[in-house]
Chain A
Amino acid sequence: MHELSIVSSIVDSVTETLASYPGARVKEVRLRVGALASVIEDSLQFCYGIATEGTPLECSVLVVKILPVRMHCDKCAQNVEIASLQSFRCPHCDEPVMDMRQGRELEIDSIEIDEAEKSV
């Protein structure tokens, strides 16, 4: 259960970004999470509610996009999606695949904010 540490890092990063948008309110935070990043979305969502309380992120929506594991198959000379996390083999030629191109991401992609009107 390290989702709370992860969510705290998200709150810190977003708060830092908000310094450039005074008075803005966060509506949505969008993440890109690899299928092998070892985080559970339900736990993230649960911790998000707690960790954002009393911060500019309070009441915002956390959107998690899960990215499938993509490996490079040397034999097929292309990137392939493995059929399951229990077998790192190319779905076309069944050769073992070792070279990961996607699957461990743990990133904030973007945030959606409501900007305060600039005072004239």
Chain B
Amino acid sequence: MSTRIVELRQGILKKNDELARGLRSQFEVAGVLVLNLVSSPGTGKTEFLQRTLRELRNSGARAAALVGDLETDNDARRLAASGAPVRQINTHGICHLEAEMVSKHLEGWNLAGLDYLFIENVGNLVCPSSYDLGEKIRVALLSVTEGEDKPLKYPTLYNSADVAVITKMDIAEAVGFERTAALKNINEIRPGIRIFETSAKMGTGMAEWLAYLAQARPSR
């Protein structure tokens, strides 16, 4: 017996990262802007996305969504009400989406015929942050009911986000939401990040959000 050290120097999620890189270039070639929406369960990702899809459709843009959940296709059915093409990914116990699941569920979709593709991740503030899905923009959502210190508790996720969206602003006052503290905490974790304060129910902040989406889209 002889002992030997073998250097691997290898990413543990190498397979996911390689697949995500492939997806990213596929999205770029197709000219579709891909966003990955992450938050805890109950933040209102589906409601926010439903409104976004509806407004995009009204403005003539072509948008589609993939929605991840452990079980049920309830969210996909809610989102499909917007008229946009929607597919459900059931992870059956896995707490996050992986690039392979995204790739598999895109089969048969003509990406070049889309302006936007939204991927609604499984509601979870820890695991999704490790898995690249090939998205251009990672959106971290936080609702006014969750507590202003959530970004401090989950720095991994908020630090990996490109933009932040605060949801349910219509009930901010009723739940005693401390807006200044929330904005400060997000900025402590991700300095300079663009923050949208929205209410999908009332439409608050949606115009700014849609304007952002329009300018972030690759020009054809």
Chain A residues whose C-beta falls within 8 Å of the C-beta of B191 in the assembled complex: 88-89, 96-98
Chain A residues whose C-beta falls within 8 Å of the C-beta of B2 in the assembled complex: 114-115, 117
- Say yes or no: is B176 at the interface (Cβ < 8 Å to chain A): no
Residue of A nearest to B17 (CB): A106
Q: How far is the CA of A24 from the CA of B5 in the complex (A)?
A: 12
Interface on A for B, CB 8 Å cutoff? 1-2, 5-6, 9-10, 13-14, 17, 21, 24, 27, 31, 36-39, 85-89, 96-98, 100, 104, 106-117
Most chain A beta carbons < 10 A, residue from B13, B96, B98: B13
Residue of B nearest to A40 (CB): B126
Contact indicator B9/A109 (Cβ below 8 Å):
yes
Contact indicator B1/A114 (Cβ below 8 Å):
yes
Interface on B for A, CB 8 Å cutoff? 1-15, 94-96, 98, 126-127, 129-131, 152, 155-157, 159-160, 187-192
Given contacts A1-B127, A88-B189, A96-B187, contact A111 B6 (CB under 8 A): yes
Contact indicator B157/A110 (Cβ below 8 Å):
no
Contact indicator A37/B6 (Cβ below 8 Å):
no
Can you name 7 extra interface pairs (CB under 8 A) apart from A88-B188, A110-B9, A114-B2? A21-B4, A27-B3, A36-B159, A96-B192, A108-B8, A113-B5, A117-B2
Contact indicator A38/B129 (Cβ below 8 Å):
yes
Chain B nearest Cβ from A48, distance in angstroms: 12
Chain B residues whose C-beta falls within 8 Å of the C-beta of A111 in the assembled complex: 5-6, 8
Contact indicator A112/B130 (Cβ below 8 Å):
no
Contact indicator B8/A110 (Cβ below 8 Å):
yes
Chain A residues whose C-beta falls within 8 Å of the C-beta of B188 in the assembled complex: 86-89
